[in-house]
Amino acid sequence: MAAAAGGMSSRSSSLLAMVFVAVAVLARAQGERAATFTITNNCAYTVWPGLLSSAGSAPLSTTGFALAPGASQAVPAPSGWSGRMWGRTLCAADGAGAKFSCATGDCGSGDVQCNGGGAAPPATLAEFTLDGSGGLDFFDVSLVDGYNLPMLVTPSATSGSGKCAATGCVAELNGACPADLRVASASSASGPAVACRSACEAFGSAEYCCSGAYGNPNTCRPSAYSEFFKAACPRAYSYAYDDSTSTFTCAAGATDYAITFCPAAPTSVKSSGQNPQAAGLQQLNDTMVYFGGGGGGGGSPQSSGATTTSAYSSIAAAVFSVAAVALAALL
C-alpha cells in the first residue's frame, strides 16, 4: 500500500508539474505578443511595406513583403517593441533578379526584406513604442522625413480622451507638392511627382532640420513648408517638435493596430494630383521590370512570413488541452 501510495503521489506531482508548465507556456505566449499590426493595402497598385525595429528591440517576423491591391498581412509584435513602418512604391528588380529597389521608401537592402535598413526619404512613416511609460503604447504618423503615399493608423479600441485615436495622412499630396520639394520618377523628370521631400532634406539648413542653434522647441518653429503638410494632415508630425497634436497613446497590451495605405478613395489636395502608379509609372527606368513577389522565399503576399493572431489562439487551445487532460487524470 505504501508503495502504491508513493506511486500515486509521484504521478500526481508529475501531472501537477505538467499543468504548471502548460500555464507558464500560455502566459509566455500571451505576454510575448504586445500587439498585432494588420497592414492593409487599399491602393490600386502594389505596395511593399518596410519594417524596422529600433536598436535593442526584438526583431519582427518580417522586415518587408509585397502587398497586392486589397491584400492584408498580420504581423505580431513582442512586448516592449519599438520601431517604424512605411510603404515602398514603384519597386522593381533588374532582369536577372539580382537587386530589388524602389523609387520611394527604398531601404537599401537590395531585397524585398529590408533586413535592418530604414526608409530613404521621402517616406510617410508610422512610428510605435509599445509598453512605454505609464502602461501606454505611443504612436504617430510622421511626415518629418517627407511623404510618399497616404497612410492611416487605427487602434482597435479608442478612448474619448482623443489620445487613443486614429492618426495619419489620408490626403494625396504628391500632386500638390511645392516645386522645390517635388520628387519625380527617375524615368520621367517632367512626369507626375512620386513623393514630396521635407524642407530639411531639400535644403539641409539647421533651421529646417531643427539642429544646431535650432535644436530645441523654442527655436525650431513651423516653416511655410511644414505648414503645407500640417494643413493637409493635421494629426501627422510635420516637423521635429510637432508633439502636442501628433503623438497618440493607447493602453499597452490591450490594443492592436491597423496600418492602411490609401485608406480612402484618393483625395488630392489639388485636383491635378495623381498617385504615381495610378498615373501608369510602372518602371523605375527602361531596364527595370515590375516585381511582384513576396518577401523571403516567395508565396502570396498575404502569407509571406508573418505569424497571425490565430497562431496564438492555437497555442492557447493546445495548452488548455494539456492542462485539462492533466487535471482529469488527477481527478
161 contacts 254 by C-beta, under 8 angstroms: no
Sign of CA dihedral 305, 72, 171, 166: negative
Q: What is the mean pLDDT of residues 121-135?
A: 96
Q: What is the mean pLDDT of residues 145-150?
A: 97
- Categorize the per-residue pLDDT at 66 as very low, low, confident or very high, splitting at 50, 70 and 90: very high
Please say if the pLDDT value at position 299 is more than 50.
no
- Provide the grid cell at 274: 495623381
**Does residue 230 fall inside a structural domain?**
no
| Rounded Cα distance, 282 and 185, in Å | 10
**Does residue 251 fall inside a structural domain?**
yes
Question: What is the DSSP secondary structure assignment for residue 215, as one 8-state letter?
Answer: -
pLDDT of residue 93: 84
140 contacts 246 by C-beta, under 8 angstroms: yes
Bond from prior residue into 122 cis (ω within 30 degrees of 0):
yes
pLDDT of residue 21: 40
Length of the chain: 331
| Rounded Cα distance, 238 and 171, in Å | 14
Bond from prior residue into 276 cis (ω within 30 degrees of 0):
no
Overall domain count for the chain: 1
Please say if the pLDDT value at position 13 is more than 60.
no
- Categorize the per-residue pLDDT at 10 as very low, low, confident or very high, splitting at 50, 70 and 90: low
Please say if the pLDDT value at position 52 is more than 90.
yes
Q: Residue 51's domain is classified under what CATH number?
A: 2.60.110.10
| Rounded Cα distance, 125 and 122, in Å | 9
**Does residue 330 fall inside a structural domain?**
no
Residue type present at position 134: G
pLDDT tens by residue, 183-221: 997 766 667 899 999 999 999 999 999 999 999 999 999
- Categorize the per-residue pLDDT at 97 as very low, low, confident or very high, splitting at 50, 70 and 90: low
223 contacts 208 by C-beta, under 8 angstroms: yes
Task: Give the lowest-confidence range in 51-65, 131-145, 236-250, 289-303.
Answer: 289-303
**Does residue 147 fall inside a structural domain?**
yes
The whole-chain average pLDDT of the chain stands at 76
β strands within the chain, DSSP E: 33-41, 48-53, 72-78, 82-94, 100-104, 125-132, 136-142, 151-155, 167-169, 182-185, 188-196, 248-251, 257-261, 288-290
Task: Give the lowest-confidence range in 22-36, 162-176, 295-309.
Answer: 295-309
User: Which residues is 91 bridged to in the sheet?
Assistant: 102
**Does residue 10 fall inside a structural domain?**
no
pLDDT of residue 241: 93
- Provide the grid cell at 257: 493596430
Bin 96: left if φ > 0, else alpha if -120 < ψ < 50, else beta.
Answer: alpha
Question: pTM value?
Answer: 0.72
**Residue span of the structural domain in which 134 resides:** 36-173+235-261
Bin 4: left if φ > 0, else alpha if -120 < ψ < 50, else beta.
Answer: alpha
Please say if the pLDDT value at position 85 is more than 80.
yes
Q: What is the mean pLDDT of residues 56-74?
A: 96
**Does residue 187 fall inside a structural domain?**
no
User: Which residues is 104 bridged to in the sheet?
Assistant: 89
pLDDT tens by residue, 248-297: 999 999 999 999 999 975 445 543 333 333 332 222 332 222 222 333 33
Enclosing H/E stretch for 313: helix 309-330
**Does residue 146 fall inside a structural domain?**
yes
pLDDT of residue 152: 98
**Does residue 326 fall inside a structural domain?**
no
